[in-house]
A and B are shown apart, each in its own frame.
Chain A
Amino acid sequence: MGPYSESGRDRSPVDDRDAVRTPDRTGDRLVGRRLRLGDEVALAEVYDRFSAVVFGIAARVTGDRAAAEDVTQGVFVQVWEQADRFDADRGSLRAWITTIAHRRAVDWVRREVAHRRLPPGPDPVDQPSAEDEVVRRQVTERVQAAVEKLPVPQRTMVLLTYYQGCTLIEAAAALGIPEGTAKSRMRSALLRLNTSLVAEGLVSR
């Protein structure tokens, strides 16, 4: 299993533990409670589930490995310190953590740009932020365009799961393919999307 398959919760179709259409956040709620009670085992579990996603975001946004490590560390320390701010009724743990990851990574880029007095490069925003609707729409459109360019079998997987809200198992059943095939098709799709998003300059490599 690739790192992504551990990381998805709630809406992410690469993880089948949660049904997309009925977000059951019982697990997130319990983990949130344990974090608030200061259970370090809960934090270690959260780290093991989400570190790949967080590190991936941080690496893309900063384009700097050492910075990505620092950002990843900062994200999980913040998760620990601000566990009382996580509300499972308002969103998934995954969404909360990836939002923190994105913010911290963008903050790093801003500090770096200010420090070096370099002209800002491509906008480091690789996901929509609530305060920037224009960027949000652009990013959404470009991701959709990249999805459209995928070979049909891969595109179907992505559309069924991310856009139609099927779990990976449901998508495999709908397409009449084994689960293992669905997984590898999804992985290929994500890797191909990565290539095209990097080529488009939407995310930095």
Chain B
Amino acid sequence: MNNPDPTIDVITDVAAVASDPVPTRVRTAVLAAIRQRTAALQPPSADAGPPEAAPFATQVAELDALLSGLTPAQWSLPVPAVQDSWDVSAVLAHVFSVDALLAAELDLPLSPEAGSGTDIAARTESAQRAFAGRPAKDVHAAWRGQAIALLNHVSARPEHLERRVNFAGLRLPVGAVLLDRAGETWIHSEDVRSVLARPSVPLRPDHREVLADGGAQLLPTRWPEMPIPAAGPVWLRLQGTHVSDWLIEPAGPARRPQPDDPPAAATVTVDTLEFCYLLGGRRTPDTVEHEASGDALLARATLAAAAGMARL
């Protein structure tokens, strides 16, 4: 079949082949303008995207609602649960920086304040410096725009949830990183509510279960840092609406126990919400409510490993 009128194609190709390269500043400006529009949107609802992203979507909406009503004085309140010298806006700059690690892995456009590299502390510090002295709405918009962009991206490309990416020194599926982001967003929302003297908002029961399971699965990554040599597997029982059992072995992934498994060296039973606070660093092995039997040192080391997963 002949092309009825190829004139437009000829002219556009002529123009493209003969024109100078487009300056990179145009690309930067386009992506910044798009991000500005994303940041003006409401965070998507939890059921708009894939189920793996629902806890993160829920926490983004919660934190956004919490921040939207803050006065300048409230933005400047210190958040000692994180760092004595950090105020609410510095905490948000930190959350934004860690989210940016995932955004970068997914090739999302990055705001200039997001910095570069894989070191969370360095990135956080650079973002905090970038937002220092600016109105709090800037860091709020940067965090919000990036979080919505992440959620929109995984809604549009749910097949990417299985993809393994570099995150905080580990190689994890995007879905697992989104659970990490949900947990950290929630724990820092709790920190902010605490300095505002507002009541705590526990994770939804279904979300606390997936977050606790996600944390349990990552526990073996902490074994090399365990203070004692493990005498055998640890049976971790997460007690929520349902019971979720995990067998954590020194060398190997966390897995569901099988009937013919040898007896565990230690058994630890923790409420799922308590376990989420432990993973977020807001409980210690001493303060987390739990029951333990068997090797007491190993049980305690398991709780310490969970607490050690918190970054700040």
Contact = CB atoms under 8 A, between A and B. Distances in A.
A29 interface: no
A76 B30 contact: yes
Interface stretch (A106-114, A115-123, A159-167, A172-180): A159-167
B13 A80 contact: no
A47 B30 CA distance: 9
Nearest to A147: B10
Interface of A is mostly: helix
B33 A77 contact: yes
Interface string A63-98: 001000100110011001100000000000011001
B171 interface: no
A53 B8 contact: no
Where chain B touches its partner, the secondary structure class is helix
Nearest to B33: A77
Which of A33, A39, A81: most chain B Cβ within 10 A? A39
Contacts of A136: 7
Given A33-B156, A73-B30, A139-B7, A165 B2 contact: yes
Contacts of B10: 143, 147, 158, 162, 193
Contacts of A134: none
A53 B7 contact: no
- Interface range, B side: 35 or more
Interface in B1-34: 1-3, 5-23, 25-27, 29-31, 33-34
Nearest to B27: A47
Interface string A8-41: 1001111000001100000000000110011111
Given A41-B108, A43-B34, A197-B11, A187 B6 contact: no
A38 B10 CA distance: 32
A153 interface: no
Contact of A143 (B11, B31, B41, B155): B11
B15 A203 contact: yes
Sorted from nearest, which 7 A-B pairs have the closest CB atoms? A56-B15, A39-B156, A38-B152, A56-B19, A162-B6, A194-B18, A37-B156
Interface of A: 2-4, 7-8, 11-14, 20-21, 33-34, 37-44, 47-48, 51-53, 55-57, 59-60, 65, 69, 72-73, 76-77, 80-81, 94-95, 98, 126-128, 136, 139-140, 143-144, 147, 158, 162-165, 187, 190-191, 193-194, 197, 203
Interface of B: 1-3, 5-23, 25-27, 29-31, 33-35, 37-38, 41, 106-109, 148-149, 152-153, 155-157
25 contacts: A2-B17, A3-B16, A3-B19, A12-B13, A37-B152, A40-B108, A41-B157, A43-B31, A47-B31, A52-B19, A52-B22, A56-B15, A56-B16, A56-B18, A56-B19, A57-B11, A57-B12, A77-B33, A77-B37, A140-B7, A162-B3, A162-B6, A165-B3, A191-B17, A194-B14
